[in-house]
Amino acid sequence: MTFALPAQDFRLCHANAAARIVIAVSPTETRMVMRALVYHGPGEKAWEDVPKPEVIADTDAIVRVDATTICGTDLHILKGDVPVVTDGRILGHEAVGTVESVGSGVKTVQAGDRVLVSCVSVCGTCRFCREGRSGQCLGGGGWILGYRIDGTQAEYVRVPFADNSTYPVPGGAADEDILMLADILPTGYEVGVLNGGVRPGDVVAVVGAGPVGLSAIMGASLFSPSHIVAVDLADSRLEAAKRFGADVVVNNGREDPLEVVRSLTGGLGADVAIEAVGVPATFELAVALSRPGGRIANIGVHGEPATLHLEEQWIRDITITTGLVDAYSTPTLLRLLASHHIDAGRFITHHFALDEIDEAYDVFARAADTGALKVVLSRAS
Amino acid sequence: MTFALPAQDFRLCHANAAARIVIAVSPTETRMVMRALVYHGPGEKAWEDVPKPEVIADTDAIVRVDATTICGTDLHILKGDVPVVTDGRILGHEAVGTVESVGSGVKTVQAGDRVLVSCVSVCGTCRFCREGRSGQCLGGGGWILGYRIDGTQAEYVRVPFADNSTYPVPGGAADEDILMLADILPTGYEVGVLNGGVRPGDVVAVVGAGPVGLSAIMGASLFSPSHIVAVDLADSRLEAAKRFGADVVVNNGREDPLEVVRSLTGGLGADVAIEAVGVPATFELAVALSRPGGRIANIGVHGEPATLHLEEQWIRDITITTGLVDAYSTPTLLRLLASHHIDAGRFITHHFALDEIDEAYDVFARAADTGALKVVLSRAS
Amino acid sequence: MTFALPAQDFRLCHANAAARIVIAVSPTETRMVMRALVYHGPGEKAWEDVPKPEVIADTDAIVRVDATTICGTDLHILKGDVPVVTDGRILGHEAVGTVESVGSGVKTVQAGDRVLVSCVSVCGTCRFCREGRSGQCLGGGGWILGYRIDGTQAEYVRVPFADNSTYPVPGGAADEDILMLADILPTGYEVGVLNGGVRPGDVVAVVGAGPVGLSAIMGASLFSPSHIVAVDLADSRLEAAKRFGADVVVNNGREDPLEVVRSLTGGLGADVAIEAVGVPATFELAVALSRPGGRIANIGVHGEPATLHLEEQWIRDITITTGLVDAYSTPTLLRLLASHHIDAGRFITHHFALDEIDEAYDVFARAADTGALKVVLSRAS
Amino acid sequence: MTFALPAQDFRLCHANAAARIVIAVSPTETRMVMRALVYHGPGEKAWEDVPKPEVIADTDAIVRVDATTICGTDLHILKGDVPVVTDGRILGHEAVGTVESVGSGVKTVQAGDRVLVSCVSVCGTCRFCREGRSGQCLGGGGWILGYRIDGTQAEYVRVPFADNSTYPVPGGAADEDILMLADILPTGYEVGVLNGGVRPGDVVAVVGAGPVGLSAIMGASLFSPSHIVAVDLADSRLEAAKRFGADVVVNNGREDPLEVVRSLTGGLGADVAIEAVGVPATFELAVALSRPGGRIANIGVHGEPATLHLEEQWIRDITITTGLVDAYSTPTLLRLLASHHIDAGRFITHHFALDEIDEAYDVFARAADTGALKVVLSRAS
């Protein structure tokens, strides 16, 4: 998917602004050009001209990106933490767009359709896709956009398995709201709330009030827990947690979350504890916060092992889950958005044009200062 | 419940063999005497005379022990690993016996009834008992026999909450078969098989083929998994595992269980992995053996923390459970015993009289040499 | 439990107003007297003097009734539809009160405690109580108050299995709110919402918007369905349904609910249909409203068979449930009341003193005219 | 898919036996010819020459039928009970065969592959396929073979959505065993056993011991119920039921199944009752046989409504399910076949060559006399 081109050729092609812009990808072949955010190794990225994607497999769709956003995972990749991602990869795995063309095998999507591009591509045929667990797809899908293949932070994106990996944008819905269903909302809902088995009346503790923790809080609210306790070190995030539905907030730099949770639960602990950070200490805290018989749902992306205190926990009937989003909840979340049970717009703190992506990354990376949750990058209309 | 008595008095009382044997528990009160296995601190135990138990709470039953057995946990206690257990405690939490007397509040059990005494006492009123999770009983039950109160390795035992903590011995059943339902069978079935969610066609890996691992193998067989893979370091245990239903055995001193499990599962890993040892290495192996989307059920009693490789597992949709037996499956297991779907007798390798308990402990503790799985201690009839 | 006394003796006793009022129940025994609503055969009831209840079993509590209410089932009984209920029975199965005395076997409740008296009595020992299905109690519990034994529409009530059948009134809670947890709220929640498996984003149809249908609507809201469609023939009930959380209402005297539900569901039908009336037509409507793969939860008390159109439904993957309330959700509902997720007060339309019970029955029976949902009868303080 | 051709033309084409046999489907187009069992209205069928199928959609496979069988549903269709099926339709929805060609969109199946053709076609994209409920497929799949499109009782069959609707035949497996996974085994397992929620220790009653009832018995055995009670009017079927795993059989022409089931269950009734006939009386019997809290799983194909005695059942906490097979269990059943947990061969009572299909239908239709369960029709090799 990556390509290398002599700088000189490139300039020539790019200069050819008449009618349609094309790019030479080999001495005998030209391709149309587009702008995209390309990863060039740790710490290096550029908004630059690249060949516009074309249908490769018959189940592909080419989608013009009308809105995209930046995920915490993109920051990890940029730091070089994700060695699967190599020089030349276009980043991004979230988009709302307009279908430009589709492969011959695409049945339910056609040019002109406005679609949500999910962060999970779904082959639809492998064992895991058949079981609704497409995050583990064995047929070439799963999370691949902006990771194993080029992604959505571009003017156009090639979406594999388009029938199963896109969803029509409902009439009347705002692009930027739908965009929140590409990753952040299904991740918090599936990996946090549903894996955690939140039930009405529960006390739910959410460790970490960044975007994915806030998504878990919003998702947990759908089940009417009696209390949602948000735990974070940043007061600004705890303020956000309140807006998203937490009724108790704990700054664990100043307060002991164990004490707070125990005081709410007759000393027992949380029915459900959701880990939304991705470091050993927060996982261990989530386990400690849980009651006997409780559930701990890990959402965080971890880079190192955690300690599991089995000498305490073997007897406590706990259940720990991990998971990558499968996006099976997307239709449900679309219905909940339509019925105003979720307010996706609450995530959106900043707006940029697509070609302001460098600034957008900067604002998003400095979330502690800027208060950024999700930034929306929109195509100039 | 413990008592201290001048050795002299004791001898006097014990010598009084006429009619009924009594013991002085205070200058003004005597109590009838019985023989029991009493813990006297790390490494110390004695089969000695103690006061016979009496009804304390109105829901108690006094049960004459007709058969009891020894559990691996008793060995842990004897080593001093379980500080809750203090000098003077009568050990043992498994029995089949005959009710001698009951408190005024006992409704469904009466003198003369032959009963299974479960290792779990069930208050029946607390939140956890109401939810079928009596291992976590908040009302004074849970695992208390031979732990927080005197146990079953004695001529008589006081059983709290008798209505909920005993089960009638079905007509025609052998005491020693029923005895296997006091702990070993429900533990393997509930904490291993049901927590692990074993389903027909699954590949189930059981790490550790001691008695509780064998119980998990027997319980897993009830769900017709396509393969049960037993992993252990002792060939003799692996031979036992075959008799209990494992169709693949792996000596992980010589073979790589990961390779074996992967070869059975198209490289994916086990659907369910059951940990039945209780040390970090076996837990970590169980996690490694599991497929994406798999379940790891911990049965082992752990004394130290394990490492959870979240840097690998955060993305793999795994579910880890821990638990203490609740004994909610006892009625089910009684039905399965009656219908010959489980062969409890397969556990029983040695028989002793109750007063041969020292020898029984010795044989059980040297299981690697003696091949002991469960030893049955019976009252002289 | 019923008694017969010569009219003459009774007058004598009742006249004895000094100090404490007593009643002769036999030539040699007197009992204190209280006022209660007594059923005297079809159409006949009287607020009259009867012997005050006393502890019979050691697990009984005698509770002074501070607040009680009337259930639709009481009207059925009064009509003579429930032959189990015979002349002399005190009606009523819902109360909040103050414990006056307890039997020797009661552990967790004591005189002076303020308690919710559940409509379900829980023996705590039988198979069904151990499985959380106390509505089917085999040990003498289940729904017995005001049915098989004397009930709560009286100054005092004997509550069997008091440890398991009462719940402490939380500090600060209003008696009349807690009273709604005796029957109406757990019935709608357990038998309608939980049996129906309502999930976020679902379209839920509730057929019948009387008190139990409204309870199902309130309970369904806890799970954030995308739409709750209430179906009834009375516009006043549909107005109430809106206040309880229905966002779509259908008067099926004027509109076709099938059409409405299909228009909301792309022609498929409701994810969950809840029957809350108890006649064949409404059950058959609930089945018809359901989508392929849908669930139909019957709450209604039926007096005759319904037609199940298996020639249409055998292929549609439907699930139909029936049930009597078990009250296992009472602790959950108490938490939800405390956290303001349910507003029990919304049910309460009328207040009466206990001795105005005839008027209360009249208002409740003429609900179509009076708009009565639940009427609260309170002890004069 | 149907066609009409002057008899004369047909003879000409068929006579052209040189090299490849062709058929004229229009004045300007010829198609190769094959033999197939064609429905010609109620009571009429013929094994006749028809055009060989060709790839229509890019996801089709053309499969040479190596083995097929006859289903009770085929008899229903032949009687004219299934008006969807019209004159000219090739019958049959079960096959094992060899892929001859595939459409351009087929990814995982190729010419030469030996495959099981499932009775359920799976579009893989619609809501229901994404939820594992392909029997309700909205994308053109579901049960269509031999129903809405031409079926498998032919030399060749066109299989839509081939990637999702066929399964590789495992090396070493017998065609005729795999053939039992096309319909009869998943139907009994999914619609009977899994919908019924059979658990170890349960008492399971199966009403009807024809092929699908026997399949339910075989499937139920996988969960180790304590008893499987088969109920039928024919002793020969009850003998078969014993071979398939029933340990109690009841001829309900002579014995009262209610009494038998109650005697096994302490008077309560069956934990699970499975209806496998499809008439009102057997459904009503299944409901009556169920215990409070029990489950009734309907497998039977019904032609008329049944009576549901809600006046008795409203209070009994029952769950009734209906369903069409989805075939989601096919991979599981393949594993269970490989591990010898199911013995598919037990169904097979008769063998025929493909062109003996008239005789095969006759033997199958007279099952009461012939003892036929499943008849296998094989291609001459």
Q: Which of C125, C132, C331 has the CB atom closest to B163's CB atom?
A: C125
Residues of A with CB under 8 A from a CB of C: 199-201, 221-224, 226-227, 247, 331-333, 335-336, 338-339, 341
D125: closest CA of chain A, how far (Å): 6
Which residues of D are less than 8 Å from B201 in CB distance? 331-333, 335-336, 339, 341
Give the chains touching A; criterion: ≥3 Cβ pairs < 8 Å: B, C, D
- For chain A, the domains span 1-30, 33-183+327-378, 186-321
User: Which two three-digit tokens encode residue D379?
Assistant: 């291609």
Q: pLDDT digits over A315-331, tens only?
A: 999 999 999 999 999 99
Give dist(CA B218, CA C135) in Å, integer. Answer: 34
> Helix-strand-coil percent breakdown of chain D, rounded to 5?
30, 25, 40
pLDDT, position C23: 66
C-beta separation of A184 from A72 below 8 A: no
The two tokens of residue B179 are 């005895």
By Cβ distance, the residue of B133, B303, B311 closest to A317 is B133
Q: How far apart are CA D263 and CA D229, in angstroms?
A: 12
Q: How far is B112 from chain A (nearest CA, A)?
A: 35
Render pLDDT for D262-279 as a digit per residue (tens, 0 to 9): 999 999 999 999 999 999
Q: Determine the angle formed by the axes of helices A211-221 and A235-244, rounding to 10 degrees.
A: 30
Mean pLDDT of all residues in chain C? 93
What are chain D's partners, defined as 3 or more CB pairs within 8 angstroms? Answer: A, B, C
Greatest pairwise CA separation for chain A in angstroms: 74
Mean pLDDT, range B193-203, rounded to an integer: 98
C300 vs D contacts (CB less than 8 Å): 310, 314
**CB atoms closer than 10 angstroms to residue D252:** 17
C-alpha–C-alpha distance, residues B280 and C200, integer Å: 40
In the predicted model, is pLDDT for residue D189 greater than 80?
A: yes
> Which of A273, A271, A267, A197 is closest to A230 using CA atoms?
A273
Q: Determine the residue of chain B that is closest to C140 in CA distance.
A: B107
Chain D closest-CA separation from residue C189 CA (Å) = 14
| Share of residues in chain C with pLDDT > 70 (%) | 93
* Closest to A66 (Cα-Cα) out of A128, A152, A126: A152
The whole-model pTM stands at: 0.94
How many B×C Cβ pairs under 8 Å?
43
pLDDT at D19 over 50: no
Cα–chain-centroid distance for residue A146? 11
Decide if D322 and C313 are in contact by the 8 Å CB cutoff: yes
Give residue-wise pLDDT tens across range A223-276: 999 999 999 999 999 999 999 999 999 999 999 999 999 999 999 999 999 999
Name residue D250's amino acid.
Answer: V
pLDDT digit string (tens) for C95-113? 999 999 999 999 999 999 9
Using CA atoms in the order C203, C204, C207, C211, what is the torsion angle rounded to 10 degrees?
Answer: -140
Q: How confident is the model at residue B380 (pLDDT cuts 50, 70, 90)?
A: confident
C167 has pLDDT over 60: yes
In percent, the amount of chain C with pLDDT more than 90 equals 90
DSSP 8-state class, residue D160: S
Split at pLDDT 50, 70, 90, the class of A11 is very low
Whether C160 and C144 have beta carbons less than 8 Å apart is answered as yes
Per-residue pLDDT reduced to its tens digit, D94-134: 999 999 999 999 999 999 999 999 999 999 999 999 999 99
CA-based nearest residue in chain B for residue A316: B323
- Per-residue pLDDT of A92-110, as tens digits, reads 999 999 999 999 999 999 9
Is A27's pLDDT higher than 90? no
What one-character-per-residue DSSP string does C244-298 give? HT-SEEEETTTS-HHHHHHHHTTTS-EEEEEE-S-SHHHHHHHHHHEEEEEEEEE
Give per-residue pLDDT as tens, C51-68.
999 999 999 999 999 999
Q: Which residue of D has its CA nearest to A166?
A: D125
Q: What proportion of chain D, given as a percentage, has pLDDT over 90?
A: 90
pLDDT of C30 reads 75
Set of chain D residues whose Cβ sits within 8 Å of the Cβ of B226: 335-336, 338-339, 341
- pLDDT band (50, 70, 90) for residue B242: very high
What is the rounded average pLDDT of the residues D224-246? 97
Class of domain B186-321: alpha beta
Strands (DSSP E) contained in chain A are 22-26, 29-39, 45-51, 61-69, 95-102, 114-117, 156-159, 166-168, 203-207, 227-232, 248-251, 270-275, 290-298, 306-308, 319-321, 348-353, 374-378
User: Nearest-CA neighbor of D365 among D40, D76, D35?
Assistant: D76
CB spacing of D223 vs B227 below 8 angstroms: no
Q: Which two tokens stand for residue A143?
A: 């999370």
**Pairs from B4-7 (Cβ < 8 Å, separation ≥ 24):** B4/B88
Statement: residue B196 has pLDDT above 80: yes
Query: Does the pLDDT of residue B6 top 50, yes or no?
Result: no
Rounded average pLDDT over B107-116 = 98
DSSP strand pairing (B22-26 vs B29-39)? antiparallel
Torsion of CA B52, B57, B63, B67, to 10 degrees: -90
pLDDT class for A19, splitting at 50, 70, 90?
Answer: very low
CA angle, B231 as apex, B225 and B235 as ends, to 5°? 120
Q: Name the residue facing D201 among B201, B227, B335 (closest C-beta).
A: B335
Task: Give the tokens for residue C84.
Answer: 């189990």
Centre a 10 Å sphere on the Cβ of residue A260 and count the other Cβ atoms it contains. 19
pLDDT value at residue C378: 98
Is the pLDDT confidence value at D12 over 60?
no
Query: Which residue type occupies D372?
Result: A
Residue D117 Cα distances to C75, D64, D112, angstroms: 59, 11, 14
Contact C199, C221 (CB under 8 A): no
pLDDT single digits (tens) D127-181: 999 999 999 999 999 999 999 999 999 999 999 999 999 999 999 999 999 999 9
8 Å CB contact of A302 and B283 = no
Segment C158-180 mean pLDDT = 97
pLDDT, averaged across chain B: 93
Note the pLDDT of residue D3.
Answer: 35
Residue with more model confidence, C6 or A146 = A146
CB B163 within 8 A of CB B129: no
Backbone phi, psi, residue C374, to 5°: -125, 135
Contacts of residue C161 in chain B, CB cutoff 8 Å? none
Ordered alpha helix ranges (H), chain D = 7-15, 72-79, 127-130, 162-165, 175-179, 184-186, 195-196, 211-221, 235-244, 257-264, 280-289, 310-313, 330-338, 357-365, 367-370
Q: What was the pLDDT predicted at D18? A: 39
Look at residue B138 in the predicted model and tell me its pLDDT: 97
The CATH T-level fold of domain A33-183+327-378 is Quinone Oxidoreductase; Chain A, domain 1 (3.90.180)
Which residue of D126, D130, D137 to mutate against A (max A Cβ within 10 Å)?
Answer: D130
pLDDT band at A31 (very low <50, low <70, confident <90, very high): confident
pLDDT of residue A23: 66
The residue written with tokens 């029938």 in the block is A163
Q: Which residue of C has its CA nearest to D295?
A: C321
Neighbours of chain C (3+ CB pairs under 8 A): A, B, D
Check A324 against B301: CB less than 8 A apart. no
CB contact under 8 A, D298 and C309: no
D190 band by pLDDT with thresholds 50, 70 and 90: very high
Inform me whether the pLDDT recorded for B15 exceeds 60: no
User: In this structure, are residues C233 and C207 in contact, taking their beta carbons and an 8 Å threshold?
Assistant: no
Between CA C116 and CA C114 the distance in angstroms is 7
Torsion over CA: B329, B331, B336, B340 (sign): positive
Residue of C nearest to B107 (CA): C125
**Inter-chain touch D310–C305, beta carbons under 8 Å:** yes
Contact C310 D319 (CB under 8 A): no
Per-state percent for chain A, helix, strand, coil, to nearest 5: 30, 25, 40
What SS3 state is found at C87? Answer: coil
pLDDT at residue D255 is higher than 90: yes
How large is the ipTM? Answer: 0.93
CB pairs under 8 A between A and D: 43
- Angstrom distance (rounded) from CA D6 to CA D14: 12
pLDDT of residue B76: 93
Q: Contact D292/C316, CB-based, under 8 Å? A: no
What is the mean pLDDT of the segment spanning B260-289?
A: 98
Residue D204 has pLDDT above 60, yes or no: yes
Count interface pairs C-D at CB distance under 8 A.
119
Residues of chain B neighbouring A135 (CB-CB closer than 8 A): 315, 317
| Mutant choice from B102, B109, B121, B130 vs C, greatest count of C C-beta within 10 A | B130
Which chain A positions have a beta carbon within 8 Å of B128's beta carbon?
292-293
Most B-contacting residue of C55, C125, C166 (CB-CB within 10 A), to test interface: C125
Per-residue model confidence (pLDDT) at position B11: 34
**Cβ-nearest to A132 among D104, D124, D131:** D131
Q: Which H helix or E strand runs over C30?
A: strand C29-39
Q: Do B58 and C105 touch (CB under 8 A)?
A: yes
Q: Is the pLDDT of residue B342 over 70?
A: yes
How many angstroms separate the Cα of C212 from the Cα of each of B70, C192, C199, C301, C336? Answer: 54, 9, 20, 11, 18
pLDDT at B24 over 80: no
Query: D31 falls in which pLDDT band (50, 70, 90)?
Result: confident
